[in-house]
Amino acid sequence: MLFRLLAPAVWSHFLSLVCCSEQTGAGLAACTLGSLKGRGFSAEGDIIIGGIFPVHYNKVFPDTPFTELPGPTRCEIFSQRSYRWVQTMVFAINEINQNATLLPNLTLGFGIYDTCGAVHRGIEGALWMMSGQEVLVPGYRCLPGTPLAAIIGDAGSRISLAIARILGLYSYPLISYFATVPQLSDRRQFPSFFRTIPSDVFQVQGLVRLMQHFGWSWLGLLASEDDYGQMGSQILQKELLQSGACLAFHETVPLLYDKRKIQRIVQVVKSSSAKAIIVFTFESFLMPVVVEMARQNVTGKVWVATEGWSTSHNLANRELLKTMDGTIGFAIRRADIPGLREHLLSVSPNSPTNKSLVKLFWEEMFKCKWPDIQDNLGGSQQLCTGQENLSQLGMATAYSDVSNLRISYNIYNAVYAAAHALHDLHSCKPGEGPFANGGCANIRDFEPWQVIHTKSTILYRQDSQSYLLILVKE
């Protein structure tokens, strides 16, 4: 049994060494890790930029009996906000392709992958992009002439940590727009990781100063059960205690829904005399806790938000406001992206990128169903026609609301960082270049590590320190 399971794995590893010279499709199929059709979408170009996004959340792992091939992870809830991030990346790439001074004569293409918030899917996506094809060949890019320059992603620190270790092996730049754990700044562990969002080290300093400013020294602390929550709350706890504050409680928010744990947290918060509670988590994990607080009429607490949830639409809704009223917290800076709104509204299942992702998006926005999509879990039986009109949904959707672009702006910057790095490579003059004997890279056939050796990317190694203080008020 064991042999039967191991043999194909060993063979595929061995065969992958010769795979790139194999020209026939049959040769490729024999030596790869299996197809990932339908989980991402791509556009061709001279150079590819990858994007990794949690378009869905609430993953459901299938039961694995170990006697058959594991089924795919089911991804349940479509996130309109994350799909806006995806389209912001597409928008930035289109804008760069139309710009006559930035990367003239070169077209950027992309590959975009939905991680569903699962670490193994993040790794899968990274391998898909590195292989450059539907079938995976780790470490080999089998499409000559279309190098992968960088991967933009992931949103979460947990998945970014996993991908950054693998990309670090091959020196592919990974530029995250939302991963804030301090550990990712460690150059020895993550030599090719960059980000357009500050490390939590700065946020913790800000939180401690904010507490001192208000004279709040008896505090509660909630943190999600992931790298972001655990690492962030550990440094925060240390700094708070050093500043003379005391912690009434330090509770862990589960990542998967767990009624018993959630009721316990609500009980602890209700019975504690601490009025100010710092919460180090993301919106999706905090949501069930807040819903339960509202159900039990918990009021009179001051919630202190980290940037992971401070600007959440869903947590500031009418039913939850009696509990969340007065929330204060840090957010990363906001910016406008001219033209983005028009781009978002022009997305359509009739345009060339009409792959499954845009169809799932359409089902989410119009509560309709495509007859050819099997895995949607919505209850609606009304069929989608493709003639539905996004403009008529108004400004109210999390997808089309461009009044609060923060993570979207980080994504926009990340794509531009990659483009500027490539531009530096492209405009290198032989004899003055950064490589051996003043050499330059060949823009149509460069090595991933060469992208890191440019002036532009060096800027993004430094963590910026600007935050904004925000207050949620009814």
Ligand X SMILES: *[C@@H]1O[C@H](CO)[C@@H](O)[C@H](O)[C@H]1NC(C)=O
Residues that bind ligand X (CB under 6 A): 99, 101-102, 104-105, 296-297, 349-350, 352, 354, 386, 389, 391-392
Q: Shortest gap between Cβ of 350 and ligand X (angstroms)? A: 4
C-beta closer to ligand X: residue 143 or 201: 143
Tokens 């292989």, located at residue: 131
Q: Which is nearer to ligand X, 354 or 464 (CB)?
A: 354
Give CA separation, 367 vs 59, 188, 390, in Å.
20, 47, 12
Q: Min. distance of Cβ 357 from ligand X in angstroms?
A: 13
Nearest CB to ligand X, comparing residues 92 and 286 = 92
Round to whole Å and give the CA distance between 331 and 210: 13
Nearest approach, Cβ of residue 456 and ligand X (Å): 10
Measured from the CB atom, the residue of 34 and 104 that comes closer to ligand X is: 104
Considering the complex, state which of residue 99 and residue 263 has its C-beta at the smaller distance from ligand X.
99
Output 99 or 382, the one with its CB closest to ligand X.
Answer: 99
**Cβ(176)–Cβ(122) below 8 Å:** no
Cα 404 to Cα 443: distance, rounded to the nearest angstrom:
36
For β-strands 74-78 and 56-60, DSSP reports them as antiparallel
Given phi > 0 = left and psi -120 to 50 = alpha, else beta, which region is 66? left
Q: Are 384 and 359 within 8 A, CB to CB?
A: yes
d(CA 343, CA 347): 7
| CB 100, min distance to ligand X, A | 7
Report yes or no: 307 and 155 within 8 Å, Cβ to Cβ: no
Q: Kindly give the residue spans of alpha helices, DSSP state H, lying in 246-371.
A: 259-271, 283-295, 321-324, 340-346, 356-366
Contacts (Cβ under 8 Å, ≥6 apart) of 403:
395
In the complex, the smallest distance separating the C-beta of residue 346 from ligand X, rounded to whole angstroms, is 9
Question: Is the Cβ of residue 243 or residue 442 nearer to ligand X in the bound state?
Answer: 442
Least Cβ distance, residue 105 to ligand X (angstroms): 4
When the beta carbons of 352 and 430 are compared against ligand X, the nearer one is 352
Is residue 132 within a helix (H) or strand (E), and if so which, with residue range? none
H helix count then E strand count, the chain: 15, 14
Q: How far is the CB of 300 from ligand X (least distance, A)?
A: 14
Please classify residue 2 by burial: count the beta carbons closer than 10 Å to its beta carbon, then call 0-12 exposed, 13-18 middle and 19+ buried: exposed
CB of 349 to ligand X, least distance (A): 5
Which DSSP string corresponds to 439-465?
Answer: B---TTS--HHHHHTSHHHHHTTSPP-
- From 300, 226, 245, select the one nearest 269 (Cα to Cα): 300
Cβ distance to ligand X smaller for residue 367 or 444: 444
Extract the runs of DSSP E, i.e. beta strands, from 298-387.
302-305, 328-332
Taking alpha carbons only, the member of 39, 54, 277 closest to residue 178 is 54
Return d(Cα 163, Cα 130) in angstroms, integer: 12
Q: Which C-beta is closer to ligand X: that of 189 or that of 263?
A: 263
| Shortest distance, position 46 Cβ to ligand X, whole Å | 9
Least spacing, CB of residue 468 vs ligand X, in Å? 25
